[in-house]
Structure 1
């Protein structure tokens, strides 16, 4: 039995180390591009913890995800601190520190080794691959779902030890909360069964209490599949076979990034393989060798458990169900919980328990992580850093173009988008973004061509249709433009961009009564920090005066 005071002291140390190393993010703003605007800065449903916003969180999807607790956590932040990025980052840091402590306690429960537990928790907390999950406020869903999931797992172990139904109910509720934060935690019941199989009696009665967990996982999986199908995402390379070949190489790339975390990027563009090639075969050989090692170590319960924890949480992001992105640092947040103790054990054996070597590696990781957190801010540094490592990645240039556009550096934005289209000429998303930029630059007919091309290809994103409406209105075809805005509002009556467009359209048609109605609707659905609210207020006053 470990000394509780000593365990508590080390837990405080692990939490403090995690918070301090990520403290560089506290001075960061929200990201100007990617999902921060959709989830937070331009999302009216997070402007306070009201009944309306809670209902909206449970009845809407955001950026193609159903994650109400994720959205409610932002609403709680907003209620307490306003739209203060430092506070939002601090909450992420705190949650990550709590996760690190729970990882320490989990490893201590499995191994009984305090040194292994502390060092492994520090690897989990301080690894540079975790920066994306912690320093990017949008990825609150990743760390908060893990907080709930780890809490559920530890509480379930307590249930197995004490056989009380209060911890069982607590574990089930925490797991439900985890699923309502991010669906990728559907694997937790499998990990529970792995724990029971390795450390408890293997009678069926020991597995029976996990059935409700699997039912919740099944429901969350169905919801995720429906959401992904709604986004019309296809398999990589056009087939499950090509997807499987590609993801074999991606898994090996993940291992490389874990052991040698250099050239990290917010966006990777791994090669897609449709046939057996040398990279695919070499990746298969590496993975087969690792499986062979596990077979040799099959009598070591601890090795099998942590290997399972490294592999099983990776399954939901291996494109079994097609996803938008192939590879991301954030996909390793849960798997690192398993990789960390395995790595510390390997280093301990190779270095003959020379703890100083692990400490040196932790210090190096801490420096890299602290430095990297400062890249995740509103400026171009994150994208320029990534482009320096991956100059042929068109998606990075697209994100850079979007950022320059937000910053008002339109010429720089145009050059970045053109470079992106040189690399990815058939990418409809980039054509859409480029079309919006051309609108902003006053190149209305060129913008109309770009946006219409995307629409004619069958893309039906709300923002695309709304911007297409603006393009028609800008070239003088007000009625056609309003038709597209109506199309958006028929599916999403709260879409601020198209509400604004309808107000503008009715103004142009001279119908001030209807214009006033839409200006008021715009004010009703937008947060107070929306930059167009002042203009909308002025136009509402003008429309009200004119209709008298």
Structure 2
């Protein structure tokens, strides 16, 4: 066995093995100070988010209108975090963290925003091990503002923290592989997947890190081979190529001759990724969040994916015109644009692969970027966005790594050029690197601070979005929703109309227009809009509910049919059961209404309105003891959730029920 290992080591030297881990990580006495400065700078840049409000962009689904989060972290809500989905996603750890915030901060958005900020700062600290500049760009790049300043993106910053913990656990495992150390890797990955399934690509990234910087395998004569860190570092290029120096110190097990051991050790991690991928797809399918191929042809998805990779690259280098939502162009990009994007991606991929021996950070960083974007690049289309800034939260690290090792090596190579050798001496090169590092971090900090201010409230966010994007029907719809909900119905209707004009297929804008027309007494126009919404999206349950309410007075049979269809589309959903119970109550079918409400209360026991409805119906049925118990439960929940208007109505209903009880007693 010994001669084989010796021969393999010689082959690695001949075939330019990637520089490995004989250079220590940045653990000088300046490292703690730099890390502290990075945390303070991150907190300063993002600290204004404490004044931001909740926004009408999933914050209602995750916090303000979520009954479990409103109640806070309790045994029942913790169990339901694992047994229910939110906005078509199953991420129980994210919901637990929001429930904890509710317990600590109530409905004060400052607490939620600061939690996001601290999680983001912690992730930046954990990323400090490769190079401080990578961590600084991750912490302060404007593309990451949405993940920090948007409460509903708790899943991003929380899963990002577990991504970093998994990397650190894996580095420790690679030093001395053992089952206890691997267990920490497995647990960290599992927790990250419980926060957001974006981590399904992490096992793939660990395999990349095995190549560089861990140096656990190399290409020998076109074949993959696994090597030990000591052997690989015996004659590494790192000494002659300072830009390639690895940031980690490792001590690997004896060499083998195939890559299979590295794949085999990760099989539990890949299995975990497959399991959570299946769960995510199932949850999105049940909530009708997945777009069909009829809606988004696969050819259009491929074109958009190519454009997305280039779009994100452009925003990484020039983060201007950022927005929370970029509309999907149904006509697709031009052929020339797609050809240019594909050519650019193939060119970078080819260059990175050709340089995999001399500059392994290029291949690793580029494949990190390309691979981690796969789940969100649009091949599996969820929602209507073409791309989203938040999707770069983890993938951007790959580009930062390419720059962090590539720029110093470019400057080092300039020193060898005769005419400019004196201009790029070692001392000058160091000063240039410091200048470039400080300048880029400062520029990112300034732009990120400005960008965070746009998330202050719905008006600033959506008005800014309309300024920097074109034909954005979602921005119009969301701004209109905020205006309508704050008593500015006429202004809101203008934005709903613009959204429907830009995209007649925006069924939510059609529904909002219908609700506005209904409030204005224009029933026929409201019905027309709802029918248009159902033509575009027959599974829009809210459109069925609204039609049911409009038909309830004069066409009760049609109304009940729409309510039943809405309930079929969302079986076992407390909100739909409560709405159906309202229709049953209006028709005098109190026993059936009580049964629906009892099921709704069982499904969402922390929803005060369901308890209130149940108490009111039970009071009509003469079951006043049960009614008072339900009403008291509703009152306690409404007080805990600071729902003052509902609290007043519940108190009035309790008094009415008690008066009935007293009159019956006297009788």
> TM-score w.r.t. structure 1 length?
0.90
Alpha carbons of structure 1 residues 518 and 375: separation in structure 2 relative to 1, 3 Å: farther
Deviations 1:136-186, CA, capped at 9 Å, x for gaps: 010000110111122112101101113233221111111111111111110
In structure 2, what is the equivalent of residue 145 of structure 1?
A: 159
Superposition deviation, residue 543 in structure 1: 5.7
Alpha carbons of structure 1 residues 213 and 92: separation in structure 2 relative to 1, 3 Å: same
Alpha carbons of structure 1 residues 536 and 432: separation in structure 2 relative to 1, 3 Å: farther
Deviations 1:449-475, CA, capped at 9 Å, x for gaps: 3223333555334433333333333x5
| Residue range with higher mean Cα deviation, 118-127 or 340-349 | 340-349
Query: CA RMSD of the aligned region, Å?
Result: 2.8
- 1:8-87 superposed matches below 5 A: 8-31=32-55, 33-46=56-69, 47-87=71-111
Deviations 1:9-53, CA, capped at 9 Å, x for gaps: 22222222222211111111111x120011111111122211110
Superposition deviation, residue 480 in structure 1: 4.7
In structure 2, what is the equivalent of residue 173 of structure 1?
A: 187
In structure 2, what is the equivalent of residue 114 of structure 1?
A: none
The answer to which structure has the higher helix fraction is 1
Out of 400, 404, 416, which is 2:495 matched to?
A: 416
Whether the 8 Å contact between 1:485 and 1:498 is mirrored in structure 2 is no
Out of 449, 468, 472, which is 2:547 matched to?
A: 468
Deviations 1:76-115, CA, capped at 9 Å, x for gaps: 111222222111111100000011111112x1xxxxxxxx
In structure 1, what is the equivalent of residue 455 of structure 2?
A: 376
- 1:105-124 superposed matches below 5 A: 105=129, 107=130, 117-124=131-138
In structure 1, what is the equivalent of residue 634 of structure 2?
A: 523
In structure 2, what is the equivalent of residue 313 of structure 1?
A: 372
Out of 349, 355, 359, which is 1:291 matched to?
A: 349
| Corresponding position: 1:426 with 2:426 | no
Q: Secondary structure at the match of 1:104?
A: coil
Whether the 8 Å contact between 1:438 and 1:447 is mirrored in structure 2 is yes
Q: What is the CA–CA distance in structure 2 between the aligned matches of 1:391 and 1:538, rounded to whole Å?
A: 49
| Corresponding position: 1:186 with 2:200 | yes
Count how many residue pairs are aligned between Structure 1 and Structure 2. 536
- 1:219-298 superposed matches below 5 A: 219-230=275-286, 231=288, 232-235=290-293, 238-272=296-330, 277-298=335-356
In structure 1, what is the equivalent of residue 649 of structure 2?
A: 535
Q: Secondary structure at the match of 1:377?
A: coil
Q: Secondary structure at the match of 1:22?
A: helix
| Corresponding position: 1:207 with 2:263 | yes
Out of 334, 338, 345, which is 2:394 matched to?
A: 334
Whether the 8 Å contact between 1:48 and 1:75 is mirrored in structure 2 is yes
| Residue range with higher mean Cα deviation, 353-362 or 248-257 | 353-362
Superposition deviation, residue 503 in structure 1: 4.1
Superposition deviation, residue 277 in structure 1: 1.1
Whether the 8 Å contact between 1:237 and 1:243 is mirrored in structure 2 is no
Superposition deviation, residue 363 in structure 1: 1.4
Q: What is the CA–CA distance in structure 1 between the aligned matches of 2:106 and 2:66, rounded to whole Å?
A: 13
> TM-score w.r.t. structure 2 length?
0.74
Alpha carbons of structure 1 residues 150 and 274: separation in structure 2 relative to 1, 3 Å: same
Q: What is the CA–CA distance in structure 1 between the aligned matches of 2:168 and 2:35, rounded to whole Å?
A: 15
Whether the 8 Å contact between 1:401 and 1:416 is mirrored in structure 2 is yes
| Residue range with higher mean Cα deviation, 202-211 or 364-373 | 202-211
- 1:97-112 superposed matches below 5 A: 97-105=121-129, 107=130
Superposition deviation, residue 422 in structure 1: 1.4
In structure 1, what is the equivalent of residue 142 of structure 2?
A: 128
Determine which structure has more spread, i.e. the larger CA radius of gyration.
2
Whether the 8 Å contact between 1:225 and 1:321 is mirrored in structure 2 is no
Superposition deviation, residue 282 in structure 1: 1.4
Structure 1 spans left out of the alignment, 5+ residues: 108-116
Q: Secondary structure at the match of 1:326?
A: strand
Q: What is the CA–CA distance in structure 1 between the aligned matches of 2:394 and 2:294, rounded to whole Å?
A: 24
Q: What is the CA–CA distance in structure 2 between the aligned matches of 1:238 and 1:501, rounded to whole Å?
A: 33
Whether the 8 Å contact between 1:489 and 1:499 is mirrored in structure 2 is no
| Residue range with higher mean Cα deviation, 355-364 or 449-458 | 449-458
Alpha carbons of structure 1 residues 8 and 503: separation in structure 2 relative to 1, 3 Å: same
In structure 1, what is the equivalent of residue 14 of structure 2?
A: none
Superposition deviation, residue 6 in structure 1: 2.9
In structure 2, what is the equivalent of residue 111 of structure 1?
A: none
Alpha carbons of structure 1 residues 347 and 195: separation in structure 2 relative to 1, 3 Å: closer
